Amino acid sequence: MTNRTTRRHFLKVAGAAMAAPYIVPGSALGANGWLQPSERINLGFIGIGNMGGGHLNGFVGNSRVQVVAVCDVKRDKRDGAKARVERQYAEQMKQGSYRGCDAYNAYEDLLARDDIDAVVIAVPDHWHAIIAIAACQAGKDVYCEKPLSLTVREAREMERAARRYGTVFQTGSQQRSSANFRFACELVQNGRIGELQTVNVGIGDPSHEKFFPEEPVPDGIDWDRWLGPAPWQPYNSERCSGSYSGGWRRVRDYSGGMTTDWGAHHFDIAQWGMGMDGNGPVEILAPEVSPHEALTYRYASGVTMIRGGANGVLFTGTEGKVEVNRGYLRTWPESLEETKLGPNEIHLYESPGHHADWLNCIRSRKRPICDVAIGASSVIVCHLGNIAYWTKRKIQWDPKREMIIGDDTASRWLDRPKRAPWRLHRERGCVS
Amino acid sequence: MTRRTLVLLLLALSTLSAACAMAARPGNEVATPTMAIEETMDIDDLVAQLSGRTAMSETVSQDVAAAYRQVIAGLTPGIAAADPVAREAPQKDFHAICMHASRPGAESERRALCDVLGGHLLEDAPEEAHAWFLRQVALIGREESVATLAKTLAGHNSRLSELSRRALERNPDPSAGRVLVAALRKSSKPEWRVALINALAARRDAFALPEILKLARFSAAAPASVRTASIAALGDLGGDDARDALFELWKSDSDPARGDIANALLRMADRLRDRERTEDARTIYTRLLAANGRGTHGFAALRGIADCGGDAAVGPIADAFDEGEATRRRMAIRLAGSVSGGKMTDALIAKLSNATVPEQALLLDVLAGRPGDKVRNAILGGLESAEPDVRHAALRALGQRPDGDNALIIVLHGAMNPGTDRKVARETTARMSGKHIDGIFLGAVAATEDSAACVELIHALSVRRHEPAVATLERTVADDRPKVRAACFDALAEFRRESSLAPVIDALLRETDGGARSRAEACIVTITARLEDPESVTRDLLAPRFESATGATRASLLGIMGSVKGPAALSHVRKAVGDDDPAVVEGAVRALAGWEDPIVYPDLLAVATSSDHPLHKVLALRGAVDCLRRPSEQTDAEKFAKLEKLLGLAERDEEKKLVLGALAGVRDVNALVLAQGFMGSNLENEAAGATTAIARMLLAEHEAVAASALRSVMSAAVAESTKTDARRALELLDQHRTFIGTWLSSPSYSREGYRGGRLFDTELAPEVDAAAVTWRPLSTKGQNNPWIFDLKQLAPGDHQVAYARCTIDAPSTMEALLLIGSDDGVKAWLNDELVHSNKVRRGLTPREDAVPVTLRQGANRLVLKISQVNGDWRFCCAVETPDKKPIEGIRFRGE
């Protein structure tokens, strides 16, 4: 492990620098416009699939951070990520090689490193809560991909853990960092479309039980660890594929399907526009029992939210409408698009970018734009939608006590048993 | 009876007889299946009724248990099928039945189903069926299922035991917990014990505590995994005994599970705090803090104490300001923000004097919302800091105290400190709440003599949208300070009042400062753009003032007319092109050059051709090129002819480069030849760029010419990025040699009330009488891939269909494959015979549908129908041999 100069390591060795010669590369000392190592945030990446790989590409070129470790249960992914990081840093240092990024199969080994300040978690959904809570317990700040959790209870436990340990926890619902979405929500919250009546949300289908034939486990995949807390199933390449057209996102044991995957974006924006962060609907109707023949939410305010009928999210008020999606904003009347808010109106959190906001908050210890509590209340809306889908009925929900009222079977979906030895609260280093 | 029902029933014979035997056992209260149900119902009907898809018949409702027995017997063979894919339908059917039976208000149905399921779980049923039944019991079982689950839990099949454990964990009846405790006592396998402990922890049954306490105590022989699971479970179970036990364990500094113990205690304390048992919670936090002051757990304890309220947290938090590494200190400062009271405030202020720069900024942020003059003075002190980050934090902190004096201080600070301080000050005043602040700002505009301060006040009034300020600003455009006038123009542009136009235009006519004049022009253009009749501004305000204006001001007015546009403005501008004053002519040519409409192309061409004034000539030439770059009805051939002429007029390399740049957007072989002609000249890079861009557009239609041009670029001494583009275009060509590159298309078709799927099934004009349809060439202009055709060029929107056709010239009669990709559905006719139909909603995946066809020698007519539901609407098609190889000698024509 040559040429590793990490922030905490730098602090430790600084005191000893007079006693022993210590050579660090120029860029590590802050040349070429890079921060001093004592100011850089050391990052570890847990999960290097589609999303994790994207985050890695974004962060490895960011001078505010140093990627020091990667972790994946697929050997080719972690080795590829390690090589990618080291190649990039070698190029930045303008020297032939760099060795400073370690690769792990087990996330516990990565979290056990004291020199890592923060972690980016981009594993399949059934792993989010266990790893994120362990990271909080290990004193790391967390960027966790959306949807925040697999179950309602997990979401709340993640929030509790983050608060308990003072974690700066960004949920990866990055649409909150986009000006278009913020503007649309500000229009709604400031009454520029009148009294809000309905919200239409364009998302895909829920996950289901999936039935795959058994295949031999390929070399280089730790299949038991990929399954982790989920019920044991034989290996199948589709089961653990990150493909959006199929893969684990469609399987109920690992994901809530597009209800949570895209719901964590568009329901999240709907919640933001309604000013319902930390709150939620009171009734959720499956398509079979909804007058709209689509998944329907009713809020105590009288607002109805319906799945479908929108390019992204469509807010309809008594005096206008606003529809928003990525790269798209439309208002009725059109003049609403030119709205400028005054000082006495509601101005929503303005994020400089989802990654940048997280890094800023790691420094300032403020809560980021999509703090874990926001991620939790948004994903709970998604989970409730799935529970309605799966039970095919109307669910009554108490958003304050976070309880389903009068429906024992539906309530059992609020959490799921985990395969041993996995549980939500495991101290790092105590691998069974 | 359906075929599926028959098969399932045949397969079910053995299971059914077993079910009957089971039902007949002494003590089993479930009735045997009635002949009435067996004789009258098939499984599909039963599934429909029992899952709620259809109403329950009287026969079924009279003996629902019998119906469940029959449906389970019927579905079991499928549920247990060897092929996992074959299990899907029966497993989902049964799951739907379980969900329906467990709906609120249907307890008798749920109970009946669970009783029947219990019987099946005790049989020698196939493992897959057992497993699926257990998964359902986990969702709907209650006390009636516990005894059965206890037996499967204790069985020898580890998969079924695990599923039983999960079912017991979710079962709300306390007896389920007792079964798990009993199993824990008996078990000696560490992995299984951990699983049982985790299940008990999730259930939070208090009676599990003694057993778990035993396992939590340290023993050298005990597996660490069992012990740590037990410790975690104590945290979930809670209670005084668990707490005392955990503190007892905590005494040992060398305990390897110390972290687990601390986490368990913290969770226990947090739950107590949430239940408002604040003192109990505080006791745990305090003991933890005393034992582990600086670690992660110590900090978590400190946070807990802070959350419990009171002054107890002040001392430890203040101590933490100076302890540990930077992140920990910042966490302590942020934590202090959640503790109210004067003592904490004093501690925060005291910390300011010895804090690092980031800490000072953080302290000011935390102090911002706290009351008291001491806090305000501390914030004002921050404005004096030499560190920008601290000053910015102080500005933002002051902005959170909505008070007139504070607002003026922020504005003045911004006026005196250009750069980032001013930027932050402006952001802060823009959002400072309090309506009285605007009145203070407005009063200060008239009162202040300082130009910079006045500018900042005017800016603040505009960004705060203070409408009453408009009248004052309209008067202030006559101020004798140019910067103030410029600020007024900017502000009035923000308010966009039509009434401001006349005073601003008059101010423009008087304006002597160049900077202020351009701001006045921008203001007029901005306000005019909002009007329903922008031409009225030219007619009523600009034109009457034009004749009396001086040369420079006339140029300004022409510039404004160039932005306002319209026939009246164009008439004035054209007339001014012949003015004697060069400044006026320049203004007119600039206005024409920025007109953004090909209508002015002849005017610009005339100036470019005949003007003796070099600047006018260059401006006109550039404007003319710009006209041709814009989307218009002109064909590529027409654009090429005009650009060729402009290239002849261009004298300087700068203009020639512009023309080459415009040529790059012309999809025409002549344009390609013209661009290639500059290869080898001093404009080679621009020529190569244009050549590559044009050749890429022509790849599908003029493969040989385009490929040759791209190869010439690759061998030239031009920029690497251009060579890379050329290489990628050639690679694209290689990947798509078998794709059809030219198509004709019909118009798009939609019908009121018809969705995309229905239109797909509807015979429309091209299917009835293709000759009566107007077919036009489909363009791939603007597409990254010239073999992928975007049908949105026909009409935007959802729910429509269109047809595309082409001719395939085959060298001989042969078997071939059509490889079609479409978004969304597609039908294909070859020589008027329907050869493919795929009604689907999907994104485009090239080569997704493989359609075997026979091509006859010579011309073959291929027609595709592509439906659009929503989102993208595209298609592509390749023709290859049956083993997916290129076909020698095949040609495609868009005819």
pLDDT tens across B424-440, in order? 999 999 999 988 999 99
Angstrom CA distances, A96 to A27, A90, A99, B550, B715, stand at 14, 6, 10, 67, 31
Q: B736 versus A106: which is more confidently predicted?
A: A106
Mean pLDDT on B713-729 = 92
> What's chain B's average pLDDT?
90
- pLDDT level of residue B149 (50, 70, 90 thresholds): very high
Hey, are the CB atoms on A430 and B257 less than 8 Å from each other?
yes
Phi-psi category of A5—alpha, beta or left, where left has phi over 0 and alpha has psi -120 to 50? beta
Residue A77 clears pLDDT 60, i.e. is over it: yes
pLDDT of residue B841: 81
Token pair in block for residue B24: 């007949």
Quote the CA–CA distance of B70 and B43 in Å, as a whole number. Answer: 8
Neighboring chain A residues of B334 at a CB cutoff of 8 Å: 166, 364-366
End-to-end CA distance of chain B: 54
Residue B792 clears pLDDT 50, i.e. is over it: yes
- For residue B795, give the DSSP letter: -
pLDDT of residue B214: 92
pLDDT of residue B293: 63
Each residue's pLDDT tens digit, B835-850: 999 988 888 888 889 9
Mean pLDDT on B848-858 = 94
Looking at chain B, which residue has its C-alpha nearest residue A141? B327
From B68's Cα to the closest Cα of chain A, the distance in A is 18
Residue B4 clears pLDDT 90, i.e. is over it: no
> What's chain A's average pLDDT?
90
Quote the CA–CA distance of B143 and B171 in Å, as a whole number. Answer: 8
Residue A16 clears pLDDT 60, i.e. is over it: no
pLDDT of residue A321: 98
Hey, are the CB atoms on A423 and B362 less than 8 Å from each other?
no
pLDDT of residue B121: 79
Q: A10 versus A417: which is more confidently predicted?
A: A417
A30 has which bridge partners? none
Best to test chain A binding among B165, B198, B284 (most A CBs inside 10 Å): B198
From A203's Cα to the closest Cα of chain B, the distance in A is 13
Residue B143 clears pLDDT 90, i.e. is over it: yes
Hey, are the CB atoms on A8 and B325 less than 8 Å from each other?
yes
From A232's Cα to the closest Cα of chain B, the distance in A is 8
Residues B111, B114, B119, B121: what is their CA dihedral angle, to the nearest 10 degrees? -160
pLDDT of residue B2: 47
Residue A74 clears pLDDT 60, i.e. is over it: yes
Looking at chain A, which residue has its C-alpha nearest residue B225? A432
Each residue's pLDDT tens digit, A249-281: 999 999 999 999 999 999 999 999 999 999 999
Hey, are the CB atoms on A391 and B257 less than 8 Å from each other?
no
Hey, are the CB atoms on B199 and A417 less than 8 Å from each other?
yes
Best to test chain B binding among A141, A169, A211 (most B CBs inside 10 Å): A211
Neighboring chain B residues of A337 at a CB cutoff of 8 Å: none
Residue A9 clears pLDDT 60, i.e. is over it: no
- pLDDT level of residue B627 (50, 70, 90 thresholds): very high
- pLDDT level of residue B894 (50, 70, 90 thresholds): confident
pLDDT of residue B164: 97
Neighboring chain B residues of A421 at a CB cutoff of 8 Å: 191, 194-195, 198, 225, 229
Percent of chain B with pLDDT over 90: 76
Residue B552 clears pLDDT 50, i.e. is over it: yes
How many CA atoms does the CB half-sphere of A98 hold within 13 Å?
A: 26
- pLDDT level of residue A33 (50, 70, 90 thresholds): very low
Q: The tokens 């938090």 sit on which residue?
A: B317
Percent of chain A with pLDDT over 70: 90
From A418's Cα to the closest Cα of chain B, the distance in A is 8
pLDDT of residue B391: 98
Angstrom CA distances, A93 to A30, A82, A90, stand at 11, 16, 5
Best to test chain B binding among A182, A348, A371, A427 (most B CBs inside 10 Å): A427
Each residue's pLDDT tens digit, B43-83: 889 999 999 989 999 989 899 999 999 999 999 999 999 88
Residue B5 clears pLDDT 70, i.e. is over it: no
From A220's Cα to the closest Cα of chain B, the distance in A is 25
From A212's Cα to the closest Cα of chain B, the distance in A is 6
Hey, are the CB atoms on A340 and B235 less than 8 Å from each other?
no
- pLDDT level of residue B84 (50, 70, 90 thresholds): confident
Amino acid in position B516:
A
Best to test chain A binding among B103, B158, B170, B327 (most A CBs inside 10 Å): B327
Amino acid in position B769:
D
- pLDDT level of residue A35 (50, 70, 90 thresholds): low
Q: B107 versus B697: which is more confidently predicted?
A: B107
Hey, are the CB atoms on A164 and B304 less than 8 Å from each other?
yes
pLDDT of residue A175: 97
pLDDT of residue A427: 60
- For residue B739, give the DSSP letter: B
CA B613 to chain CA centroid, Å, is 53
Looking at chain B, which residue has its C-alpha nearest residue A312? B871
Contacts of B74 (CB under 8 A, 6+ apart): B5, B8, B9, B12, B16, B43, B46
B823 close to B844: Cβ distance less than 8 angstroms: yes
| Backbone angles phi and psi of B561, in degrees to 5 | -60, -35
B820 close to B877: Cβ distance less than 8 angstroms: yes
From B236's Cα to the closest Cα of chain A, the distance in A is 10
Contacts of B795 (CB under 8 A, 6+ apart): B747, B748, B750
pLDDT of residue A39: 76
Looking at chain A, which residue has its C-alpha nearest residue B91? A209
- For residue B791, give the DSSP letter: G
Q: B687 versus B220: which is more confidently predicted?
A: B687
Residue B775 clears pLDDT 50, i.e. is over it: yes
Hey, are the CB atoms on A432 and B92 less than 8 Å from each other?
no
Using CB atoms, which residue from B99, B194, B304 is nearest to A391? B99
Neighboring chain B residues of A342 at a CB cutoff of 8 Å: 464-465
Hey, are the CB atoms on B334 and A365 less than 8 Å from each other?
yes
ipTM of the complex: 0.89
Hey, are the CB atoms on B331 and A365 less than 8 Å from each other?
yes
Neighboring chain B residues of A160 at a CB cutoff of 8 Å: 267, 270
Q: A38 versus A228: which is more confidently predicted?
A: A228
Mean pLDDT on A298-311 = 96
* Alpha helices, H only, B736-822: 756-761, 765-768
Amino acid in position B163:
L
**Structural element, H or E, at residue B854:** strand B849-855
Hey, are the CB atoms on A166 and B169 less than 8 Å from each other?
no
Q: The tokens 């697999």 sit on which residue?
A: A150
pLDDT of residue A243: 84
Hey, are the CB atoms on A137 and B172 less than 8 Å from each other?
no
pLDDT of residue B783: 67
From A364's Cα to the closest Cα of chain B, the distance in A is 6
Neighboring chain B residues of A212 at a CB cutoff of 8 Å: 84-85
Quote the CA–CA distance of A38 and A30 in Å, as a whole number. Answer: 10
Residue A382 clears pLDDT 90, i.e. is over it: yes
pLDDT of residue B832: 93
pLDDT of residue B37: 53
- pLDDT level of residue A350 (50, 70, 90 thresholds): very high
Angstrom CA distances, A17 to A13, A31, A36, A100, B247, stand at 6, 19, 16, 20, 41
- pLDDT level of residue A36 (50, 70, 90 thresholds): low
Token pair in block for residue A3: 């040429």
Amino acid in position B67:
A
Quote the CA–CA distance of B775 and A214 in Å, as a whole number. Answer: 51
B745-754: burial string, b at 16+ Cβ within 10 Å, e else: bbbbbbeeeb
- Pairing assessment for the beta strands A65-71 and A102-104 based on DSSP bridges: parallel
- pLDDT level of residue A37 (50, 70, 90 thresholds): low
Quote the CA–CA distance of B467 and B470 in Å, as a whole number. Answer: 6
Looking at chain A, which residue has its C-alpha nearest residue B136? A409
B836 has which bridge partners? B828
Quote the CA–CA distance of A270 and A256 in Å, as a whole number. Answer: 18
pLDDT of residue B717: 87
Using CB atoms, which residue from A408, A428, A429 is nearest to B172? A408
pLDDT-wise least confident of A187-196, B16-25, B871-880: B16-25
pLDDT of residue B13: 38
Quote the CA–CA distance of B630 and B763 in Å, as a whole number. Answer: 39
From B86's Cα to the closest Cα of chain A, the distance in A is 8
- Pairing assessment for the beta strands B800-810 and A118-121 based on DSSP bridges: unpaired
Contacts of B516-522 with CB under 8 Å at 24 or more apart are: B516/B482, B516/B483, B516/B485, B516/B486, B516/B489, B517/B552, B517/B556, B519/B485, B519/B486, B519/B489, B519/B490, B519/B493, B520/B477, B520/B485, B520/B489, B520/B556, B521/B556, B521/B559, B521/B560, B522/B489, B522/B490, B522/B493
Each residue's pLDDT tens digit, B663-684: 999 989 999 999 999 998 999 9
Amino acid in position A144:
C
- pLDDT level of residue B17 (50, 70, 90 thresholds): very low
Best to test chain B binding among A350, A425, A426 (most B CBs inside 10 Å): A425
CA B307 to chain CA centroid, Å, is 36
**Structural element, H or E, at residue B109:** helix B107-121
- pLDDT level of residue B296 (50, 70, 90 thresholds): confident
Token pair in block for residue A76: 């080719």
Neighboring chain A residues of B256 at a CB cutoff of 8 Å: 430
Mean pLDDT on B302-325 = 89
Hey, are the CB atoms on A165 and B325 less than 8 Å from each other?
no
Hey, are the CB atoms on A163 and B464 less than 8 Å from each other?
no
From B489's Cα to the closest Cα of chain A, the distance in A is 18
Decide: residue B654, CB within 10 A, 0-12 exposed, 13-18 middle, 19+ buried. exposed
Other beta carbons within 10 angstroms of residue B538's beta carbon come to 25
Quote the CA–CA distance of B646 and B212 in Å, as a whole number. Answer: 90
Mean pLDDT on A382-400 = 97
* Alpha helices, H only, B337-435: 342-352, 357-367, 373-383, 388-399, 404-416, 420-431
- Pairing assessment for the beta strands A296-298 and A283-285 based on DSSP bridges: antiparallel
Neighboring chain A residues of B194 at a CB cutoff of 8 Å: 420-421, 432
Quote the CA–CA distance of A42 and A44 in Å, as a whole number. Answer: 7
Phi-psi category of B169—alpha, beta or left, where left has phi over 0 and alpha has psi -120 to 50? alpha
- pLDDT level of residue B131 (50, 70, 90 thresholds): very high
**Structural element, H or E, at residue B891:** strand B891-893
Q: B13 versus B704: which is more confidently predicted?
A: B704
Quote the CA–CA distance of A356 and A364 in Å, as a whole number. Answer: 12
pLDDT of residue A94: 76
Quote the CA–CA distance of B50 and B116 in Å, as a whole number. Answer: 14
For residue B824, whether the previous peptide bond is cis, meaning omega lies within 30 degrees of 0, is yes
Residue A178 clears pLDDT 80, i.e. is over it: yes
CA B686 to chain CA centroid, Å, is 37
Quote the CA–CA distance of B403 and B428 in Å, as a whole number. Answer: 13
From B703's Cα to the closest Cα of chain A, the distance in A is 34
B451 close to B484: Cβ distance less than 8 angstroms: yes
Percent of chain B with pLDDT over 70: 95
Q: Concatenated DSSP letters for B450-512? A: -HHHHHHHHHHHHHTT-TTHHHHHHHHTT-S-HHHHHHHHHHHHHHT-GGGHHHHHHHHHH--
Hey, are the CB atoms on B140 and A344 less than 8 Å from each other?
no
